Structure 1
Amino acid sequence: MLQRKTTKLINKHLLMSLVVVAFASTSLELAYAQKNQTATKKKSSDISLTSDDKIFLELREASKNNEASKAKDLGQKLSNYDIADYVAYFQIKPRLFDKGGAPRAETMADDAVDQFLKKYDGTALADRLRNDWLLVLGKRKDWPTFDREYAQFVLDDDTQVKCYALQSRLTKGESVNVLAAEVKNILLDSRYFGDACPDLVNSIYKANGFSKHEVATFSRMAVENNFETLANRFDVPDPMADIVRSARKSPEVAFRDFDKKAWRTSKENTAAAWGSVGQYLAKKLDPNGLKAFKMQHELGHHHLLTPETQEWKVRAALREGDWRIVKETIDHMTPSVRKRDPAWTYWHARAQKELGDESLAKESLQALSDQYHFYGQLAREDLGMKIHVPKRVAADESLVKQASSNKAFARAVRFYDMGLRFEGNREWNWELRNLSDKQLIAVAEHAKRIGLYDRAVNTADRTKLEHDFSLRYPTPFKESLAPIAGSIGLDTNWAYGLIRQESRFIMNARSHVGASGLMQVMPATAKYVAKKIGMNSFKPSQLDDMKVNLTLGSNYLNMVLQDLDGSWALASAAYNAGPGRPKMWREKLPRVVEGAIFAETIPFNETRGYVKNVLANASYYTAMSSNKTPSLKQNLGTVSPKASVLSELP
């Protein structure tokens, strides 16, 4: 799925920001899971749809909007449609939720759900419906039925369902302290709290499992993300909510004002408020961010900081070079916050090293060194080791043949052909769940052979001990890209690293903001670049042409590279967020920093992940394509607070 970019006109004499749409690249396939991403769509002219296919697409939309009556009528027209389970699901699902998306407490759909789960037991769609039904059962507090169904819920990836499961355990008398500890490791992002999680927190609070300050922290998480209605669902509202709101609006004012009156409230409240103020200042790259965090640090109560605040406290300390704060903040992180991102293992090791504990630092770096990601590469170089590609395990042809005849993969392809990438990915990924490394490699090889490079990449990414990096990092369209990149002196491996991140090699990738093709080029940017390189007859429709897309995207990447002193880190950020932004971020640096610190402290979540992934990708492409030993640290370089030069680049 594709992610949205933020675009902004700085002013007509300065820089316009390029908007491109990127895929998040991780082995866990966040690229297709995050809610703020948009599925790749094909033009209707690219798809041969039957009349029933068109009704099916209408049914899908009605189901998405929870229009139960319309879904029922459309479904009745598809009594002989060959995707019968989806027809049934799309009719049942709107009966479980109201038009606002809230679960219904009524029992009118129970029989239909039960019949569906029995008929399609073990399928991806049955697990999806079970997820939906668990939300309904939890709202009803029908714990016996909930427990029965939850035991069969395979993916178990819904935060609200997890909260209902803990509520059920609470009603059975399980230790409130054990449940409270689990809640802290589950509730990391207020976007997914729904109704279930505040109710769970309140119940544990009433049972003396949480202090009032801990409950206020969950409320603060909602306020920090501007979810005011959610914040009010907690029994103990954040007493510092006004300070948090002020910081969200103007952290500079909040810093000044709170400094004058912090003494008027408790140490717990003061520490928590300084944390929120520090978070918002840090996101603006304001050096007062670390000052606010230091005030919090002196007061303690680190457990009252929200997960996002904990992470930004580390980033603020990294920018200022305060390794003691880096180490101690990571020491105090909520365990699940620390574990969910290898960044914190890496930066903790670096802090240990900077503070003189070489042996512990080496131990932590060694734990990362065999992991195939940005921080694994950095760890290897810190240990004096080379970035490497593991020995290739070639696909077993008998297993490839099995994959090619697998009905689930064929069904996924059917969905892709209809432009339904979300459904296609669901079916494809479900089939991968219990496969061995050898089977995964064979499925990835099958995907490559039928031109589904994104499936090849994400399937091969799942292997644990046996690997084929030519499938993780494929090089399709090389006969087109290599001469284009060569003609302008652009590093082909870096270009491939960027394309892998942008589109996963889906040629007809489209974003909802208009970026398209392998390099996700915006029409306005394309026009500008076309004019600069003398492509005078260019029309936006030509972005669908692979060579045109590669030509314009490669030239633009080269332009931002030249404009940003040849820095891959800055240029990658510019390609994602627009050239004006990395210039501003650089200007706010307090000192010269290593490129890894610059990347880690980029204020935009998407761009931060994008830069890391593009450069890590480029290292592996380099390792596979030449005898040259790649160096991520060299490609990251250092970044200085150099004044930016005005540019015409869009």
Structure 2
Amino acid sequence: MVAVLSPYTNAEAAKPSKTFVNDDDRFMALRDAAMHDDAAQADEYAAALAQYTIPSYVDYYRLKTRLRTASADEFKNFLSKYEGSAIADRLRNDWLLLLGQRGEWDTFDVQYPQFVVADDTQVKCYALLSKATKQQKVATEARALLTAPRDYGAGCYSLVTYLSASGQFSDNDLWAQMRIAAENGAQPLAQRLARLLEIGDKRITQVFEKPALMLKKAPESDKVAHELYILALGRQAKADPQDAADTLSRFSAKFSESERAQAWAQIALQAALKLQPEALGYWQRTEGATLSLEGYQWRVRTALREGDWKLVKSAIAAMPASLKSDPAWVYWLARALMTEGKTEEAQVMFASIGDQLQFYGQLALEERGQKIGVPLTIKPVTAEELAPIQANPGLQRALKFYAMNLRFEGTREWNWELRKMSERQHIAAAEFARQNELLDRMVNTSDRTKGELDFSQRYPTPFNDSMYKTTQALGLDMAWVYGLIRQESRFVMKAKSNVGASGLMQIMPATARYVAKKIGLGNFLPEQVNDVDTNIALGTNYLNMVLTDLGGSQALASAAYNAGPGRPRAWRASLTRPVEGAIFAETIPFSETRGYVKNVLSNATYYAALFEKKPQSLKARLGVVVPKGMSATDSDLP
């Protein structure tokens, strides 16, 4: 047989032609092309979308594929054409990153003040770098900004390099950054810093990957060797805090007083994260050490777990102002003052956060002798108030994106419009979200108000009949279940997490199969997890299982629902004494689970107030968490 030569290349022949049902399909293809920097495809799809209902995004995705080759005029024309829009601000973010990378500071300085969202750490680093190139002093601002290596990128690396070269950052600043890198496992950052300190990559690799090898012998006598040894102690403590502590004790005389404090701080943080009671003793040796933001907070958390109120007070006092003003630390400092009999001073602090509608605001309210209730119902939204909200182009774009399951774009548009609104307009926008069955937007929008409060928006109760029947049958607290759903999915029925959890109660596939089998749900299929009634049945039954397993503690069971039942069992087992539930919640070592438990139980307290029509106690809901095998007595209660 004679082969017939095709007029197309093999690559072209292998590439299937796309067919589109409508312009929405074509727009999705344009977006995908932009995500893959495919300029040719993006141009083709965009040309066919000349009459699309959201032209700004068509133009944005087309331009996005060639950001590096686009002229300044193209950026300016887009920004002028779509001035004041969310997508224009997004493009300005993209352009500022390019301008910073290229060092085009004149244009950067014109555009940066117009960047509204201003939430990009790299752009902030470039802004400081621009100032520094003009001989402005920015070291203090840089130290406050450079705390989370995962957000650094090229902009922050360039800032650190410039500040070091220009003398604004000393070697001590670089070593402080090195400790942050080691604490966060950010080896690439550590290697960049090492070059500035003229340290070879091999030494950094050993610190990160083989710290135990370095610690087998005493440190050498020079400053660099001491600093690297301290880093290695922190890295070894991630695996075995006791071994690191023994090593430091053995060679303690080799270090100066300030070096010893710094070394103990590295070990103390890792021991604290493992909830080891020995961490308290380590922290007590850190006087004068420079801590990371996590270090400052875990020193307090360790003191709370071990009941050392004197250290709670001094550790909060030593925090930087950015942390000290957080409601959590305002509350715990006030509690520490109460143990000293400084009731009047403590009550002033409780009052300063008692009007905040969150976990620590609720606890502060109870410390002032009040219970947690529901505010008076506000005046309903009128048709006249709703009309401009319904006609708002940005919110209409958001609805369009949500209908296409483009939640990221939809939320960007929605939140952009909220920036321009009064509290009353927020309430109207939340009502608009309710009318369009966007309960997550309703909750999040209504949550922003401080003066006008509508708890029917903030704490909705969809699927009430199904929820009531299921929770009644199990003897489960319905307020708690609603509190958990509000945190898990914000009532998005088809919500799916990045780890595969699905539906209202965000159930993992393996958990769904396990519970379905346990409760005798015959012929269960994975896709059934998004059916509302099935999701509620699976989620509530699983919640009831972990609640029973963990002794009826909602704090422990909420943690188990988020992190798996094994972890809260281990966290409880590490306790040396019964602790109030608020202390247990604050000292959960996973930041996501820590916030989750606090939010779930705060939500549940408000739901209970709504259902029972009377004030509630969050402290009673939190209860006391008792180590397995121990019993709580009245003396254990605060």
Cα deviation code 1:493-549 (max 9, x no counterpart): 111100000110000111233221111112222222222223223222211210111
- The equivalent of 1:56 in structure 2 is 27
2:315 to 316, 329, 332: 329
Residues 1:291 and 2:281 aligned together: yes
2:337 to 352, 375, 384: 352
Deviation at 1:145, TM superposition (A): 0.6
2:300 to 309, 314, 318: 314
Q: Separation in 2 of the partners of 1:136 and 1:159?
A: 14
> Mind listing any 5+ residue stretches in structure 1 that lack a counterpart?
1-48, 97-105, 645-650
- The equivalent of 1:277 in structure 2 is 267
Name the amino acid aligned to 2:187.
E
2:386 to 387, 390, 400: 400
- The equivalent of 1:164 in structure 2 is 126
Q: Separation in 2 of the partners of 1:615 and 1:188?
A: 30
- The equivalent of 1:409 in structure 2 is 395
TM-score w.r.t. the length of structure 2 is 0.87
Name the amino acid aligned to 2:559.
A
2:245 to 236, 243, 255: 255
2:419 to 418, 433, 447: 433
Name the amino acid aligned to 1:85.
S
Residues 1:607 and 2:593 aligned together: yes
CA contact (8 A) 1:374 1:616 kept: yes
Deviation at 1:489, TM superposition (A): 1.1
Cα distance change on mapping 1:515 and 1:328 into 2, 3 Å: same
Name the amino acid aligned to 2:83.
D
CA contact (8 A) 2:374 2:615 kept: no
- The equivalent of 1:85 in structure 2 is 56
Residues 1:449 and 2:429 aligned together: no
CA contact (8 A) 2:397 2:413 kept: yes
What's the % identity of the aligned pairs? 50
Residues 1:379 and 2:338 aligned together: no
1:181 to 140, 164, 168: 140
Deviation at 1:77, TM superposition (A): 4.3
Deviation at 1:392, TM superposition (A): 2.3
Q: Separation in 1 of the partners of 2:247 and 2:94?
A: 46
CA contact (8 A) 1:497 1:615 kept: yes
Residues 1:150 and 2:112 aligned together: yes
Deviation at 1:315, TM superposition (A): 1.1
Q: Separation in 1 of the partners of 2:38 and 2:253?
A: 54
Name the amino acid aligned to 1:514.
G
Name the amino acid aligned to 2:271.
L
CA contact (8 A) 1:213 1:268 kept: no
Name the amino acid aligned to 1:92.
L
Q: Separation in 1 of the partners of 2:40 and 2:280?
A: 55
Cα distance change on mapping 1:251 and 1:451 into 2, 3 Å: same
Q: Separation in 2 of the partners of 1:247 and 1:431?
A: 47
CA contact (8 A) 1:619 1:632 kept: yes
Name the amino acid aligned to 1:416.
Y
5 Å-filtered alignment, 1:21-60, equals 50-60=21-31
Deviation at 1:109, TM superposition (A): 4.2
Residues 1:497 and 2:483 aligned together: yes
5 Å-filtered alignment, 1:127-146, equals 127-146=89-108
Between Structure 1 and Structure 2, whose CA radius of gyration is higher?
2
Cα deviation code 1:233-266 (max 9, x no counterpart): 3334863332232223433332222232243234
- The equivalent of 1:44 in structure 2 is none
- The equivalent of 2:562 in structure 1 is 576
Deviation at 1:346, TM superposition (A): 1.3
CA contact (8 A) 2:400 2:410 kept: yes
Q: Separation in 2 of the partners of 1:519 and 1:550?
A: 7
- The equivalent of 1:38 in structure 2 is none
Deviation at 1:68, TM superposition (A): 4.4
2:553 to 537, 554, 567: 567
Q: Separation in 1 of the partners of 2:246 and 2:116?
A: 50
Deviation at 1:448, TM superposition (A): 0.9
Instruction: Identify the structure with bigger relative contact order (alpha carbons < 8 Å, sequence gap 6+).
Output: 1
Deviation at 1:427, TM superposition (A): 0.3
SS of aligned partner of 2:310: helix
**C-alpha RMSD of matched pairs (Å):** 2.0
SS of aligned partner of 1:247: helix
Name the amino acid aligned to 2:336.
A
Q: Separation in 2 of the partners of 1:85 and 1:263?
A: 66
1:369 to 354, 357, 363: 354
Deviation at 1:399, TM superposition (A): 1.4
Cα deviation code 1:435-488 (max 9, x no counterpart): 111110011011112110000000001112111111111111112211111121
- The equivalent of 1:190 in structure 2 is 149
> Mind listing any 5+ residue stretches in structure 2 that lack a counterpart?
1-19, 200-226, 631-638
Cα distance change on mapping 1:487 and 1:245 into 2, 3 Å: same
Q: Separation in 1 of the partners of 2:256 and 2:286?
A: 12
SS of aligned partner of 1:521: coil
